[in-house]
Amino acid sequence: MRGLIRSFGYAFRGIFYTLKHERNMRIHFVCMIYMYSFLLMADFFEITRTQFAIIFLANALVVSLELVNTAVERTVDLASTEWTDNGRAAKDTAAGAVLVSAIFAVLTGIMIMWQPKAFSALYVYFKEHILYFVLFLLSLVVAFIFIFKGFPQIKKKSSDRADKEKK
């Protein structure tokens, strides 16, 4: 049982590593948060369980391939510090897989979520609840900072480092 729990820990560590180091993963993550927020927190969009499952699968595909792409990039970098045609081909091909899946996810989302009535209702909602609209705009600022800057770096006190070195 410990081995199973440990393997989940390794998997989550890989996901967080990719979120920390890969801007594109942060873009996918932010887009999914906004999309699922609008789908689950209000009744603006009318989607079936099947449509929701299709959206979920499309998102899972993008995130999975982004994780594989990161693994391929790191493996190529580990295998050789010099530029090679094969290394470039491996990285480009993995990136291409992410691109194809991202295009698929966007098109799937558009096909399912293109509902003019929902957008009209959303407009009216934000017009009637200005505070929520302002909070939404502020969240966009935070999202852009997260996408382009990543996680905030927490600096440890020098005494914390000294304590770790003693152990």
- Summarize pLDDT for 106-135 with one digit per residue, the tens: 999 999 999 999 999 999 999 999 999 999
| Residue in 46, 66, 128, 165 annotated catalytic | 66
| pLDDT for residue 36 | 95
Structural domains of the chain, with CATH:
2-166 (1.10.287.3610)
User: Taking 70 as the threshold, does the pLDDT of residue 166 lie above it?
Assistant: no
Distance between first and last Cα of the chain: 29
Q: What pLDDT, on the 0 to 100 scale, is given for residue 157?
A: 63
- Residue 154, pLDDT above cutoff 60: yes
Tell me the average pLDDT of the chain: 92
Per-residue pLDDT tens for 30-78?
A: 999 999 999 988 789 999 999 999 999 999 999 999 999 999 999 999 9
SS3 content of the chain, % helix, strand, coil (to 5): 85, 0, 15
pLDDT at 80: 87
Q: Mean pLDDT, to the nearest integer, of 70-95?
A: 94
Give 164's pLDDT tier (boundaries 50, 70, 90): low
Q: Residue 7: pLDDT band by 50, 70, 90 thresholds?
A: very high
Tokens of 46: 């009318």
Q: Count the Cβ atoms, other than its own, within 10 Å of residue 139.
A: 14
Q: Which residues of 67-86 are buried (b: 16+ CB within 10 A; e: fewer)?
A: bebbebbeebeeeeeeeeee
Instruction: Determine the pLDDT at residue 1.
Output: 84
Tell me whether residue 66 is one of the annotated catalytic residues: yes
Q: What pLDDT is attached to residue 21?
A: 94
3-class DSSP state of 10 = helix
